[in-house]
Amino acid sequence: MQQEPLIFVRNLKKYFAGKRRGSSVKAVDDVSFDIVRGETFGIVGESGCGKSTLGRTIIRLLEPTAGQVFYDGVDLATLSAEEMRKKRREIQIIFQDPYASLNPRMTVRELIRAPLDVFSRESEEEKMAKVREIMHLVGLRDEFMYKYPHEFSGGQRQRIVIARALVLQPRFIFCDEPVSALDASVRAQVLNLMKKIQREMDLTYLFISHDLSVVRFLCDRVAVMYLGHIVEVADKHTLYDHPAHPYTQALLSSIPVPDTDVKTGKIILRGEVPSPYDPPAGCPFHTRCPHAQPVCREKIPIMTDLGSGHTAACHLCASTPA
């Protein structure tokens, strides 16, 4: 893997207008991280923490409120609509629900060929050759070409979605919980397929999920998100074996263990997740943190370098020698 960032995210914010005049929902609040070429960068967190909004803002399906997103040295936030449209060839997305993201009136051949119709000036024969090639790559047979999405299983539909994302030979793919709607056995097939394709096509993934076991299997590095903030970033082995942030520790302790005789020491968080309409002052996690100190209620923690690319936004980490 080349240790060269493809994506730089700096101080990214995405606010939505609130119901009250002058209020706003801080879905993504001052987020910064890098994604290295060829890696799978995972983002985990509870539902509603801003994971999908962050991913959609990075690729400009949503316009950022503030901040910068550099893709291969170019700030995507400064591009015009036409310039951004041209970048779409290199930046693709795999949505969560394969059935909802496929037009039920289009055949598989039409669905996979659609990106080529937009971006390519190749002949029909050349386009169809690419469609067949990418179908074979993701394990779809030629006879599927003239069938419709409702004629396939969930795993097959997700393969169609993946084929459509790959047909333009992109460099970066945003995967928005792409296996959460699939059965466990089918999920494993799709994840193995994604790993295989990544190696063969030198792809970079941004992988959003709430399933911690899936993230551990697929991702190289992981960021933990809480209430619109990134609270910890590390390679997956460090994060799962030595979590530093109290929220990460609680999140990982919730992973089910098949052996009921094993004592897992689950950390039960008290209270509810604060509303993004009115987030708490100081550390966003302090209202539920079992280790909260007075400083946590007053001051937002900055990312502390814990060594070897491991960072955490916690006052306890800042006061503990690395």
In this structure, CATH architecture of domain 5-90+170-256+266-319: 3-Layer(aba) Sandwich (3.40)
Quickly state the pLDDT bin for 2 (edges 50, 70, 90): very low
Average pLDDT, the chain: 90
Which tokens sit at 156? 């097959």
User: What are the sequence ranges of the domains in the chain?
Assistant: 5-90+170-256+266-319, 98-169
Using one digit for the tens of pLDDT, what is the confidence trace for 41-56?
999 998 889 999 999 9
Higher pLDDT, 191 or 265: 191
Q: Are 308 and 237 in contact (CB under 8 A)?
A: no
One-letter amino acid for residue 151 of the chain: E
In this structure, the number of other CB atoms found within 10 A of the CB of residue 197 comes to 20
Residue-wise over 20-47: b if at least 16 C-beta within 10 A, else e?
Answer: eeeeebbbbbebebbbbbbbbbbbbbbe
Quickly state the pLDDT bin for 320 (edges 50, 70, 90): low
Using one digit for the tens of pLDDT, what is the confidence trace for 258-272?
555 555 567 777 778
C-alpha 282, offset from chain centre? 26
Mean pLDDT of 116-129: 92
Quickly state the pLDDT bin for 1 (edges 50, 70, 90): very low
Predicted confidence at residue 269, as pLDDT, reads 78
Predicted confidence at residue 263, as pLDDT, reads 58
Q: What is the pTM of this model?
A: 0.90
Predicted confidence at residue 262, as pLDDT, reads 53
pLDDT(227) > 60: yes
Predicted confidence at residue 83, as pLDDT, reads 92
For 19, half-sphere exposure in the C-beta direction (CA atoms, 13 angstrom radius) is 3
